[in-house]
Amino acid sequence: MNSHANAPPLLLALAALAWAAPARGQEASFVHRLGRDTMGVEQFTRSGNRLVGEVASRLGAAVTRLQYEVTIGSDGLPQGAIFRNRSAAGTPLPNQPGEIRLTFSRDSVKREAIFADSVSTRMLAATQGVPLQSPAFGLYEIPFAHIRRGNAQSATFAVVNTGGGNPGSVTFTAAGGDTIRASNGTVYRVDREGRVLAIDASNTTQKLMASRSSERVDPAAVAGGMTAAGTLSQRGAAHASFTRSVVFINYGRPQVRERTVWGGTLVPPDTIWRAGANEATHLATSRAISFGDVTLEPGLYTLWVFNASSGGPQLVINRQVGQWGTQYDQAQDIARIPMTLAAAPDHVEEFTITIRNLGGNRGAIDLAWGAQVATAEFGAR
């Protein structure tokens, strides 16, 4: 993977001067972690006007390897890129192109999907396009170097990746010191040349963390020993019967993975949390139930948590249903119910919702995770 292994010393020196970067910055690796668990490794090399790298990842149903090559122009923006999605063994993935080739111009990109027997070509609008493909963090050095060279406070780029749809966009904003924030909430620590030193996605739904290392890793070898993580958060269900009613909750079950929970990384203060993972958490009731002076008529609702820094967590009941857990609309709120927060009897690794029958047509919803459990009581009819 080392593209300058056989290059003459003079050429290497000129390349280093051209990028105003010491030799140690030309090659780096990342280890991608989700809490205590390693989810991937990445190795990349930047030499002259080329950036070459590979990521081995176990996120999802299978272990995969993403290989990338980017050619960079004198303005610091990409001229072309090649992506290859591979299995753990290095073979092309079934029913997918062997390569995705991107050719960038000022406001568009030509995308070529190379199959064994055909080539599918599309022209896509992409002003200031950059090839960014999760979870390849080495690619972010392209827009970051461009920002640093121009001393820009912020910049918006069109994101072009292996997908066939129209490019999305991302805005990067310098937040003081060595910090650059992405519009999706990810925080990057970046040196003055634009090299990525660390990634903190704890404020996003991914929650991945990574830091730069000079130690070389072999993604192909690591992929051979990986086991696919599969679905990170399985769906769970809680239900309870009362005299004439049934209350049911469907939710995702993320794991702690040695992270802080209430008021920490997973349920930060003064933020809305989806009370689970993936799809929004849904509550269904067959008859009216009441939380204090708030009555829910029979039907389907979504549940969220607002973890107030003063006053503790609140159970948010919302009338919008059927959405992904990142699609919260405060205008659809019905009520915010104060919850009590107490110590859990034991550590709860996998987020667990329980509906308890307290007798006398009274019930309680418990949200247990980590060392604590938040509870809201209700009345059933």
CA distances from 136 to 60, 66, 247 (A): 15, 8, 43
User: What SS3 state is found at 369?
Assistant: strand
Strand 179-182 versus strand 168-174 pairing type: antiparallel
Buried-state track 121-154, b at ≥16 Cβ within 10 A, e below 16: eeebebebbbbbbbbbbbbbbbbbbbbbeeeeee
pLDDT, residue 233, reads 83
pTM tops 0.95? no
Q: Of 230-234, 359-363, 374-378, where does the model show the most confidence?
A: 374-378
**What single-letter amino acid sits at 307?**
N
DSSP 138: G
Residues 257-288 pLDDT 10s: 889 999 998 999 999 999 999 999 999 999 99
Asked whether residue 10 carries a pLDDT value surpassing 90, the answer given is no
Which pLDDT does position 163 carry in this prediction?
A: 86
Q: What is the mean pLDDT of the chain?
A: 90
> Taking 50 as the threshold, does the pLDDT of residue 335 lie above it?
yes
AA letter at 230: G
pLDDT tens digits for 46-70? 998 999 999 999 988 899 999 999 9
* pLDDT value at residue 18: 35
pLDDT digits (tens, 9 = 90+) for 83-135: 999 999 999 999 899 999 999 998 999 999 999 999 999 999 999 999 999 88
Supply the DSSP string of 247-290, one letter for each residue.
EEEEEEE-B-TT---BTSSSB-TT-EE-SSSSBPEEEEESS-EE
Confidence of residue 24 (pLDDT cuts 50, 70, 90): very low
CA atoms of 377 and 340, how far apart (whole Å): 9
In a 3-state reduction of DSSP, which class is residue 340? strand
Place of tokens 């111009």: 105
Q: Strand, helix or coil at 321?
A: coil
Amino acid at 4: H
Residue 14: is its pLDDT beyond 90? no
Q: Which two tokens stand for residue 324?
A: 């992904």
5 versus 359: the higher-pLDDT residue is 359
pLDDT in tens, 142-197: 999 999 999 999 999 999 998 888 999 999 999 878 999 999 889 999 999 999 99
Predicted pLDDT of residue 12: 33
Does position 329 have pLDDT exceeding 70, yes or no? yes
Q: Which two tokens stand for residue 303?
A: 């549940």
CA–CA gap between residue 52 and residue 278 (Å, rounded) = 33
Going from N- to C-terminal start, the domains of the chain cover: 9-224, 234-380
